Structure 1
Amino acid sequence: MIGFLRGTLAAKQPPSLLIDVNGVGYEVDAPMSTFYQLPETGGEVTLFTHLAVREDAHVLFGFATESERVLFRSLIRVNGVGARLALAILSGLSTDEFQRCVSQGDALSLQRLPGIGKKTAERLIVELRDRLPQSTSAAALPVGAAADPAREAFDALTALGYKPQEAQRLLKRVADRADSVEELIRLALQSAGAQ
Structure 2
Amino acid sequence: MIGRISGTLLEKLPPELLIEVNGLGYEVHAPMTTIYALPEVGQGVTLHTHFVVREDAQILYGFSDKQQRALFRALIKVSGVGPKLALAILSGIETDTFVRSVHDGDSATLVRIPGIGKKTAERLIVEMKDRLKEWQVDSDLPLMAAANPAPASQDQWIQEAEGALIALGYKPTEAAKAIAAIKEPVNGSEDLIRLALKGMLKQ
Structures share a fold, TM > 0.5? yes
| Higher RCO structure, 1 or 2 (CA under 8 Å, sep 6+) | 2
- Amino acid in the other structure paired with 1:142: L
How far 1:141 sits from its partner (Å)? 5.2
The match for 1:40 is 40
How far 1:56 sits from its partner (Å)? 1.2
The match for 1:83 is 83
Contact 1:6 1:47 (C-alpha < 8 Å) held by counterparts? yes
The match for 1:25 is 25
| CA gap 1:141/1:11 in 2 versus in 1, 3 angstroms | closer
Q: Distance in 1 between matches of 2:83 and 2:137?
A: 21
Q: Which string of whole-angstrom CA distances, capped at 9 and with x for unpartnered residues, describes residues 136-155 of structure 1?
A: 32234539xxxxxxxxxxxx
The match for 2:188 is none
RMSD: 1.2
Q: Distance in 2 between matches of 1:40 and 1:127?
A: 38
The match for 1:192 is none
Percentage of identical aligned residues: 59
- Amino acid in the other structure paired with 2:94: S
Q: Which runs of 5+ in 1 are unaligned?
A: 144-195
The match for 2:135 is 134
Q: Which has the larger radius of gyration?
A: 1
- Amino acid in the other structure paired with 2:73: R
Q: Which has the higher helix share?
A: 1
Q: Distance in 1 between matches of 2:40 and 2:56?
A: 32
How far 1:113 sits from its partner (Å)? 0.4
Instruction: Output the TM-score relative to the length of structure 2.
Output: 0.68
How far 1:94 sits from its partner (Å)? 1.2
Where has structure 1 moved over 4 Å in runs of 4 or more? none
- Amino acid in the other structure paired with 1:93: I
Q: Which runs of 5+ in 2 are unaligned?
A: 145-203
The match for 2:71 is 71
Contact 1:32 1:91 (C-alpha < 8 Å) held by counterparts? yes
Q: Distance in 1 between matches of 2:100 and 2:24?
A: 39
